[in-house]
Amino acid sequence: MRIGALEETKVDQQREDSVPETMSAVLLTGHGGLDKLVYRDDVPVPTPVEGEVLIEVSACGMNNTDVWVRQGAYGTEQDPNAVSSWRRGAPTLQFPRIQGADTVGRIVAVGAGVAAERIGERIMVDFSIYNREDDSLADIDYMGHGRDGGYAEYMSLPADNAHPIRTSLPDAELATFCCAYLTGEHMLDRTRVAARERVLVTGVSGGVGSGLIQLCRARGAIPYAVAGEGKEKAVKAIGAEAVITRGAGDLVEAVDRATGGDAIDVVADLVGGPMFNDLLRLLRPEGRYTTAGAIGGPLVQLDLRTVYLKHLELHGSSQGTRSAFNRLVRYIEEGRIKPLLANVYKLSDFHRAQSDFMAKLFVGKLVVVPDSKWSAHANPFPDGSDVTTRGFVLVSRAATAAN
C-alpha cells in the first residue's frame, strides 16, 4: 500500500493517494419528513485534524434515533410534543448533518499525532462523543448528531474511537452491532444483570431488543421476550427462553406461564406505551426496570405505589461506556454474539431504506452501503429473499451458527 505523505509541513497529515476531494453522502437538512434527507455526490471529503483519522466507509447500520432526530420527536422536559432533537438542554445538532452511527470501514488518512501505521486498519467506530474522561454519560453526544457520521463514503473521527476489529464477518454484518448492542449492554450494566437472573425484553425484533437477547446469554442471564404476532419463531431462534405474543391476552399472566411462575428480576423495555405499568407489575420485589426507547409511546401512566411498595429501581439508559464498547468488541471477536442482518441498501436508495426501517417488517438490523462499495460489501443474500423474510431467514442461520 502506497501512502502519499503531504510535503507541506503546515499540514501534518498522511493519506492514501486514492482519497478524492468530494464524496457522496446523505444530508439531513432539517426536521421533518423524508424530503429532509438529501443524497448528494459533491460533499467535501473531511480532513482529519490533530488526533483524528479519516475512514473510507464500507457499511453503516440504521437506528430508530436517526428517525426520531429527523422528526424532532424527542420533545422537551417542559413540552413533550415540542420539536426537539436527541440532546436535551445543550443542543449540538446543526444542519446540514450527516447521520449514521453504526459505521465500519478502513482508515485511509491520519491527522497529526496519529501513527501513519494505522492507515489500512479495518475498524469499527465507537460512535459516542464522551466529553469526559470518566465513565459518566451525563454529557454524552454521538457521531451523526454532534458531528457528522457514517451515511457517506468518508468520515473523520477521533482516533481513539476507531477500534481495530479482528473478525471474519463481512462489513455489512459487522455494521449491525455498534449502537444497538452497546445500548443493550449498558442497559444490562445499569441494572447489574447477573448470571441466572431472568430478564424480560420488549421490542425484541429491532436491533437493540434482538441484541439484548444475545447479550443476556453472553453473561449467563435468562432472556424472555415480548414480540409482535408472527415474529415469535424468529425471536426464539435468537436465543429467547420463551416468547410472549404482544397483545394476546393478559401480559402478566402470560409471562407467569412462560416462566413457570418464576419472578422476573429485570425488565429491559424499548417500547413503553400502554404496557408500561404491567411491566412494573411483573417485576419481583426489589426488581429493576431499565428503558432506552419508547416506540410504543413516550408518555406512560405510572402508579407510584407499585414503585415504592415493591422497592423497585427505575433506570434510564442511552448509549454506553468505553468499557462496555470494549466488551462488545471482545464478544464479537470471540463469536459470543452473532449479527442479525435483515437487509442491505445502496446509500443512494436511502429513502427506501428508511421507509422499510420504519415499517418494521423485519427482525434484526438494516444496513446501508455506499454505492461505490456495493459490489464488494452488499451481497450476503444469495438466496434472493426480500425484506419481509430476510430477517427471519438470517435469524435462523445465526441461531444455527451459535449452536
User: What domains can be seen in the chain, in order of their start residue?
Assistant: 3-176+339-391 (3.90.180.10), 179-316 (3.40.50.720)
Residues in the chain: 403
75 touches 84 (CB < 8 A): yes
312 touches 280 (CB < 8 A): yes
**C-alpha 256: how far from its chain's center?**
30
Q: How far apart are CA 320 and CA 59, in angstroms?
A: 21
What is the pLDDT at residue 380? 58
What is the pLDDT at residue 321? 95
275 touches 296 (CB < 8 A): yes
What is the pLDDT at residue 206? 85
Q: What is the pLDDT of residues 357-394, one digit of tens each?
A: 999 888 889 999 999 999 887 665 544 444 334 443 44
What is the pLDDT at residue 314? 97
Q: Which positions of the chain have pLDDT values less than 70?
A: 1-12, 378-403
Q: What is the pLDDT of residues 185-234, one digit of tens each?
A: 999 999 999 999 999 999 998 889 999 999 999 999 999 999 888 888 88
Half-sphere exposure of 299 (CA within 13 A, CB side): 7
Q: Using a cut of 0.75, tell me whether the model's pTM lies above it.
A: yes
